[in-house]
A and B are shown apart, each in its own frame.
Chain A
Amino acid sequence: MDLTNEKQIEMLRQMWLIRHFEETAISLYREGLYRGSTHPYIGQESTAVGVTAVLRPDDLVLATYRGHGAAIAKGTDPNTMMAELLGKATGLNKGKGGSMHLADHSLGFIGSNAIVSGHIPMAGGIALANQLDGNDVVTVCFFGDGASCEGPFYETLNMATLWNLPLILVVENNEYAISTHVSESISVPDIAMRAQGFGLPGVTVDGRDIYAIVAAAREAAERARRGDGPTLLEAKTVRWSRHSAVAAGGGKDADRWMETDPLPRYEAELEKRGILTADQIAEIEAAAQAAIDAAAQFAIDSADPSIDEIYTDIWAEAAA
């Protein structure tokens, strides 16, 4: 593993930023500061952070409504993200998108999408655009086990493999599609096995093991950059929380939470490798908490959008 120490520390910082962002997003929701819903990424931080760790700034990332983690991992500013959740004028998307539609194209975070699997063919088209442009940009598309049951996933597996596209399809198998367990919805033990039927590599890794994620993502990215085509990468994770802040019931496997939390696991590894001390780790966590507290304050203090905003950003100028 040739991740620099600096990079490994940055990865821990990002994981804590995500964790605290989500905890704060849930509490602000419960305080009634925004409506709709929010879909926490808690427990899955290692996947988004591990995959994006191997990407270049010009690589592109698409995510789902459970996309706060991917956004932060790609470098999106938590202040404007939190303001977007609260529907404020300073929000990433001017308050028009909300929790499920974050995007920051200046950072290659193409965005999150609230139609389960709706963004997967779009990711294929983006990868095709880059192939046509003759560059070596990689497109990464995150989605869940639920999306892996939708037709557009299979259509994209076929087309992306047929056309040898520079695409990494990352299925985050957190075992539940709202209430439905994978044992009740998916006909194979590993979703990566789907790849066999389409002729692309399918890899299953422990999504809580960030080093395993990094290794698998690096291989997939190198393969895509070489022009050797797409990879289906399955990260087995555990979503400890409910589906969303409004969904009924808790995760049935909440008691597994402590043993599956990727953060202590990663911290122990960093200590073991002599990269960080316990005190330094505590400082990183505290700094992340402070950054997210500031993001929450920024969001709360920001003004609502002007009513005129609903009439803008619908149409692009008619002709180029």
Chain B
Amino acid sequence: MAKLTYAQAINAGIREEMHRDDKLVVLGEDIGKYGGVFGVTRGLFDEFGAARVRDCPLNEAAIVGFGVGLAISGHPAIAELEFMDFLTFCMDPIVNQAAKLRFFWGGQVEVPLVVRMPIASNMGFGTQHSQSLEAWLMHVPGLKIAMPSTPYDAKGLIKSAIRDRNPVVFIENISLYATKAEVPDEEYMVPLGSAEVRRTGDDVTIVALSSMVPLALQAAEQLAAEGISVEVIDPRSLAPLDIDTIVVSVEKTGRAVVSHVAHKTGGVGAEIAQQITERAFDYLDGPVVRVAAKDLPIAASQKLEAEIFPDVGDLVAACKSFAG
């Protein structure tokens, strides 16, 4: 077992898949010679060459659009956005094209496209580089969405995303890139649509996404000292969403907190909360609580930004908010 960072784990997964499928193409800004603005694609250019690891101009709509064209032409593609916020430039190729082509062309194509993009919340990047926009994507039929929080899952999920014959949005997190953990040397996959119980507990379930997972584990640790037993679930994928694992947990605990760094209103937490309510209403002691970013533009100042994003204290308070 080697210790890899989250970024290195994604890199290793892509490298393995590029060896496995010589049609696979990677494209994006600064991803080749430079190795990616956060180093995720480091070394791929030297190993696989400029034809398969393609440095692109700054044009996200064309990067993803070209990726769609490659994907439907026998070349599975990985397109990278440097920040998730740049999704605004390429919603058409993702939403109107990649997600829908197979359907409206009556099954004549497969779209094996991965669009990678990192969240950079709570890192001081300011309003236009700190958003978590997965709710826009979860709303779209025809897309799969992976959102790993650990190096192990990052590698296993990127491999599943690449081998999937459908468009997959792969949401990374810059604040997790340096997280280090042991990752098996032998090949493994983490399937899309499979949640992971990160910590077992009996009193409250926290469903946490991406960088909220480590915070949820810290909150659980604090609450354990106070005699509150918290179960932490990491969905790992939003589409398909493994609601069954979440419901089993909530049926046990009767209390649920859903947490993400995206804004609260219209966030995926609302969807998960509603699915919990539909499936496990009779088990709930009270409403599902959301712990999410405030509905405000994100400020650059550390002091201001910290006020916007949820922290361990917010999770602890949410878990304690349930009566009894």
| A contacts, CB < 8 Å to B | 91-94, 96-98, 101, 103-105, 110-111, 113, 115, 118-130, 132-133, 151-152, 155-156, 158-159, 162, 312-320
Contacts of A155 in B (CB 8 A): 57, 59, 61-62, 65
**B141 CB-CB contact with A under 8 Å:** yes
Contact check: which of A94, A113, A132, A312 meets B75 at CB < 8 Å? A132
Contact check: which of A93, A110, A120, A318 meets B104 at CB < 8 Å? A93
**B324 CB-CB contact with A under 8 Å:** no
**B38 CB-CB contact with A under 8 Å:** no
Contact A122 B65, beta carbon cutoff 8 Å: yes
A-B contact count (CB 8 A): 144
Q: Which residue of A lies closest to B96 (CB)?
A: A115
**B72 CB-CB contact with A under 8 Å:** yes
A150 CA / B56 CA spacing, docked (Å): 19
Q: Which residue of B lies closest to A122 (CB)?
A: B69
Contacts of B68 in A (CB 8 A): 121-122, 125
| Nearest CB on A from B17, distance (A) | 11
Contact A313 B74, beta carbon cutoff 8 Å: no
Q: Which residue of B lies closest to A305 (CB)?
A: B106
Contacts of B164 in A (CB 8 A): 318-319
Contacts of B61 in A (CB 8 A): 121, 151-152, 155
**A314-B102, A319-B163, A320-B163 known; A159+B72 contact, CB < 8 A:** no
A70 CA / B163 CA spacing, docked (Å): 33
| B contacts, CB < 8 Å to A | 23, 25, 51-52, 56-57, 59, 61-62, 64-75, 77, 92-93, 96-97, 101-112, 141-142, 163-166, 192
Contacts of B166 in A (CB 8 A): 315-316, 318
Contact A96 B66, beta carbon cutoff 8 Å: no
Contacts of B109 in A (CB 8 A): 105
Contact A312 B96, beta carbon cutoff 8 Å: no
A312 CA / B65 CA spacing, docked (Å): 24
Q: Which residue of A lies closest to B108 (CB)?
A: A105
21 A-B contacts (beta carbon < 8 Å) = A93-B106, A101-B104, A101-B105, A118-B97, A121-B64, A122-B65, A125-B66, A125-B67, A125-B70, A125-B77, A128-B69, A128-B70, A130-B73, A155-B62, A159-B59, A314-B102, A314-B103, A316-B165, A317-B165, A319-B163, A320-B165
Contacts of A151 in B (CB 8 A): 61
Q: Which residue of A lies closest to B99 (CB)?
A: A314
Q: Which residue of B lies closest to A139 (CB)?
A: B69
Q: Which residue of B lies closest to A141 (CB)?
A: B69
A176 CA / B164 CA spacing, docked (Å): 42
Contact A103 B108, beta carbon cutoff 8 Å: yes
**A158-B57, A316-B165 known; A124+B105 contact, CB < 8 A:** no
A125 CA / B71 CA spacing, docked (Å): 8
Contact B105 A128, beta carbon cutoff 8 Å: no
Contact A97 B105, beta carbon cutoff 8 Å: yes
